[in-house]
Chains A and B, each alone.
Chain A
Amino acid sequence: MQAPVLHIIGLANIVRERVLPVPGETLARLNQKVSSGDVVAEAHFAREHALLDVARILRVSPKMANSLIQCKFGETLAAGAQIAAGRGLFPRVVKAPSAGRVAAIGGGQVLLEISESKIEVRAGIPGIVTQVIPERGVVIQTAGSLIQGVWGNGRIDAGQLVNLMEQPDSVLTAAQLDVSFRGAVILGGIVKDPETLKAAAELQIRGLILSSIYPSLLALARELRFPIMATDGFGPLPMNSLAYQLLSSNAKRDVTVNAEAYDRYGGGRPEVIIPLPVAEAPDLAETVEFAPGLQVRMRRPPALGALGSIISIKAGQTALPSGLRAPCAEIKLTNGETVIAPLVNLEVVG
């Protein structure tokens, strides 16, 4: 059976496609060196529109109104610019209610885009642009450590990693945060209360890497401007031992936190990247066949979030304490304990 792979790995060749959801402009060039916060593509879209019913205002037929409209499709108009004028001694006039761009003309009406927003796609990882996708974005490549998580608040930033975790189940509190952490990425364990997140926001930190976050804090976390990522899940979950080991041993190094939301269909995951100056690194496999010796992470109890290695794949179906029967593996956890777990509850780590 094929297993999904969660990447927590010390050295890998990391390749990421960063594209706009709609056509726009690619700003980065081929072979350009980018840092994680660089904007590599952008698109503009209108947040609001104004529909001017010229025919009704001028009291003419739509056909007649079309002939009286003076602006053109795509034209940018200033606020108050004349759009159409009627006929006669005292003609009625239709003016643009705000500055905007003519998005459509027809049926005696004019549709104006009256406020514009920009979508920006940031590099997300520091690296080299290896491919430019016209009007969409780029492919970026780098080498380094990669630690993927399960939840992110959608922000990206980079900074020096500061470790505030003493052990994998450490709880981060507001009292631990002081002004010396301004501009840093904090490795923080479990967050239980809103005060801690607010204190981190006040300090203007550049990122927060957690093992888990309480569900009641998700709405607040999404509002904050710095990236927040959870490696293991929700509630009081300790950090898996491999992520803890990799992150805590890289304290004081520059790290990038791309806390993009987990996209179960597209495959995007929140991740921490620690760039390393190496010429070559192994490629990443997204799926592998379950086999003895593979390192796995438990997705459900028993030992939710714990890592272990597969001792054996059980033949046929195995009865579980829940009463269900399923294809299972025998796992030796990192704490020495041995458990039986359904294959569908496992993901390979590497």
Chain B
Amino acid sequence: MPSSLVDGNSLLALDIDAAATRAVLFDVVEGEYRFIASGAAPSTVEAPFKDASEGARNAIQNLQNVIGKTLLDENRNLITPSQPNGVGVDSLVVNFSAGPALRVVIVGLLKEISLASARRLAESTYARVVETIDMSDSRKPAQQIDAILRAKPDLVIIAGGTDGGASRSIQKMLEPVGLASFLMPEEKRPLVLFAGNEKLTEDVQALLKDQTGGLHFSPNVRPALETEDLDPAQSELARIHLEIRRRQINGVDTLNLWSGGNLLPTGYAAGRMVRFLAKLYASSKGILNVDIGASAAVIAAGFKDKSTLNIYPQFGLGEGLPGLLHHTTLENILRWSPLDISVGALRDYLYQKSLYPSAIAATQEDMAMFNAIAREALFLAMQAAKRDFPRGAARIKPDLTPLFDPILAGGGALNNIAKPGEALLLLLDALQPVGINTVILDQNTLLPMLGAAASQNNILPVQALESGAFLSVGTVISPVSESSYGTPILRAKLVYSSGAEARVELKYGTLESLPLASGESATLEIQTLRGADVGFGAGRGGKTPVSGGALGVVFDGRGRPLNLPTDAVRRRELIKKWLWTLGGE
């Protein structure tokens, strides 16, 4: 898109999560959109503040202080559009992920078909499935009603029946939903999203219209038995999510008003951007975006023919931290720690930190625990999300992470790490990428903001992405290999644009790096040893152009899947060594 088409509108983007609120200004500089600056403040969704807009005002205030431009009026309201004297901004978009996970009941016909689709749909927002009902449910209708009442849902998602297919069975399943909702106090009735057989729309209207907190329809998530189409339902679910938040949380209405309705759940906005990038790059490899913060762990992946979005509040690092122990053990978390920390100290940390999600690590020990927890949470999220990746995605081995390039990573956990090397090691440990990947850190949570901005301004996301607003960590080479520790598995030669060369021999179990500055590119010649595979085929080498970053070109020879030594002392020494190699401590 030629820059002359840019009309010069400034855009403010807000990201509000459970712990922090960020304000980012984008504006046109020399004919192209640029990231200008950001400001942050603690979120104010929780008591005693109980108003999301207060944190937004504070973050905007901090941004004002950075840029020296007035954005708020004397009543601390956003000035929009921008005024002739230069104050204010032209538009605002807001991403929102704060608040308790939505309580969702999912209803479907067949467990493996429509119920599975309803579950995947629920996972595309900040939700927790608290009850499921399907055709194989042996409970009596009255017991199902009682179960729904006990579940106290914010939302019921109903799927089932292919378009024009089964209808009687679904009608039967609507009954307990309608009756349970009817029995609840009016202000507590759940919203209902019907994403099943489209033929039933009128029946659903007739049965549920007056019994629910609001009835929504989306195209069928299973239009045919072998076809799943979640995208339109995800879009409707994003609207529902915000409708619920507007009812639950003060200040969301103000933000909605300021932004002219341009308010999106953060994860959904990130998913939208990943879909867009997957289409833009149309590569044989996928595009991966991960975000690990106080509200949730988000995994958005874009492939040639399909995109997936998985949001896991259960793996968020905020109020739900003690719940992480339902999914893993203290020992599993501590395997990632470079410091000798007792399980008791870690358990206490999980509970104590959950009281204050916005608190940050001030000491080295606190930071070691926080990073270990973040690794484990992101690892678990990635393992769960992998189940939804398409079977046809390019891979080196079926059970390993598919090939992704680039990998974009953000969220509070990564923003709260001082050095890029520490952030990269966290990502390598948790995601265990294979082959050749460019790794980019989204330190200002820009990607979901660009996803939200795309609906207002389709030039901005493209230009902002290319403007260097993200921190390129570098290119990572992760061979798949089965060898013993210390065995050479790869030799590489990096040929710089100046003609200079640098060489490295990678031994199994180690990390190496070669310098290549941000903005520079070079050619990497790879020779694999002992059957190692970096995506050229087992035992085959090749040449590939690589781009630089804060850490240059990093070689991860630690094997996939990553097996850490069982001996705790040796493991901690190795982690320290790896951190040191990548410029951490």
Whether the Cβ atoms of A322 and B145 lie closer than 8 Å is no
Interface 9-mer from B179-187, B264-272, B283-291, B388-396: B179-187
Residue from B141, B188, B362, B367 in contact with A51 in the complex, judged by beta carbons closer than 8 Å: B141
Whether the Cβ atoms of B179 and A300 lie closer than 8 Å is no
Q: Which 5 A-B pairs have the closest CB atoms?
A: A267-B47, A235-B348, A323-B418, A286-B48, A322-B367
Whether, in the assembled complex, B319 has its beta carbon less than 8 Å from a beta carbon of chain A, the answer is yes
Whether the Cβ atoms of B179 and A266 lie closer than 8 Å is no
Cβ of B367 to closest chain A Cβ, rounded Å: 4
Chain B residue numbers with a CB within 8 Å of A103 are 183
Bound-state Cα–Cα, A264 to B45, Å: 9
Binding site for A on B (CB under 8 A): 41-42, 44-50, 54, 58, 99-100, 140-142, 145-146, 175, 179, 182-183, 185, 188, 248-249, 319, 322, 344-345, 347-348, 350-353, 355-356, 358-367, 416-419, 422, 585
Bound-state Cα–Cα, A341 to B363, Å: 10
Chain A 1-32 against B: per-residue CB contact (8 Å), 1 yes, 0 no? Answer: 11011000000000000000011000000000
Most chain A CB within a 10 A radius of its CB, from B41, B54, B145, B350? B145
Chain B residue numbers with a CB within 8 Å of A277 are none
Chain A residue numbers with a CB within 8 Å of B362 are 300-302, 320-322, 324, 340-342, 345
Whether the Cβ atoms of A50 and B185 lie closer than 8 Å is no
Bound-state Cα–Cα, A267 to B41, Å: 20
Whether the Cβ atoms of B46 and A304 lie closer than 8 Å is no
Given contacts A1-B41, A320-B362, contact A49 B146 (CB under 8 A): yes
Whether the Cβ atoms of B360 and A51 lie closer than 8 Å is no
Bound-state Cα–Cα, A235 to B330, Å: 15
Cβ of A255 to closest chain B Cβ, rounded Å: 23
Residue from B182, B366, B585 in contact with A104 in the complex, judged by beta carbons closer than 8 Å: B182
Whether, in the assembled complex, A287 has its beta carbon less than 8 Å from a beta carbon of chain B, the answer is yes
CB-based nearest A residue for B418: A323
Whether the Cβ atoms of A322 and B58 lie closer than 8 Å is no
Chain A residue numbers with a CB within 8 Å of B355 are 150-151, 233, 262, 299
Given contacts A266-B47, A267-B48, A345-B362, contact A323 B585 (CB under 8 A): yes
Most chain B CB within a 10 A radius of its CB, from A46, A262, A323? A323
Whether, in the assembled complex, A87 has its beta carbon less than 8 Å from a beta carbon of chain B, the answer is no
Bound-state Cα–Cα, A1 to B61, Å: 11
Whether, in the assembled complex, A224 has its beta carbon less than 8 Å from a beta carbon of chain B, the answer is no
Residue from A235, A344, A345 in contact with B344 in the complex, judged by beta carbons closer than 8 Å: A235
Whether the Cβ atoms of A345 and B365 lie closer than 8 Å is no
Cβ of A332 to closest chain B Cβ, rounded Å: 17
Residue from A234, A325, A340 in contact with B351 in the complex, judged by beta carbons closer than 8 Å: A234
Bound-state Cα–Cα, A321 to B418, Å: 11
Whether, in the assembled complex, A283 has its beta carbon less than 8 Å from a beta carbon of chain B, the answer is no
Residue from A49, A264, A325 in contact with B142 in the complex, judged by beta carbons closer than 8 Å: A49
Bound-state Cα–Cα, A323 to B422, Å: 11
Whether, in the assembled complex, A74 has its beta carbon less than 8 Å from a beta carbon of chain B, the answer is no
Given contacts A23-B185, A48-B142, A323-B585, contact A302 B363 (CB under 8 A): yes
Cβ of A226 to closest chain B Cβ, rounded Å: 22
Cβ of B291 to closest chain A Cβ, rounded Å: 19
Chain A residue numbers with a CB within 8 Å of B41 are 1
Chain B residue numbers with a CB within 8 Å of A201 are none
- A215-B350, A267-B47, A320-B361 known; 18 new pairs, CB 8 Å cut-off, are A2-B44, A4-B48, A23-B185, A49-B142, A49-B146, A49-B179, A51-B142, A51-B179, A104-B183, A235-B347, A265-B100, A268-B47, A299-B356, A300-B361, A301-B366, A324-B360, A324-B362, A342-B359
Whether the Cβ atoms of B48 and A300 lie closer than 8 Å is no
Cβ of A5 to closest chain B Cβ, rounded Å: 7
Cβ of A265 to closest chain B Cβ, rounded Å: 6
Chain A residue numbers with a CB within 8 Å of B141 are 51
Residue from B48, B49, B175, B360 in contact with A345 in the complex, judged by beta carbons closer than 8 Å: B360
Whether the Cβ atoms of A265 and B46 lie closer than 8 Å is yes
CB-based nearest A residue for B50: A267
Whether the Cβ atoms of B345 and A324 lie closer than 8 Å is no
Whether the Cβ atoms of B182 and A345 lie closer than 8 Å is no
Q: Can you spell out 19 A-B residue pairs with CB atoms less than 8 angstroms apart?
A: A2-B54, A49-B146, A51-B179, A104-B182, A111-B179, A214-B348, A234-B351, A264-B47, A265-B45, A267-B50, A286-B47, A300-B353, A322-B363, A323-B418, A324-B418, A326-B360, A344-B359, A344-B360, A345-B359
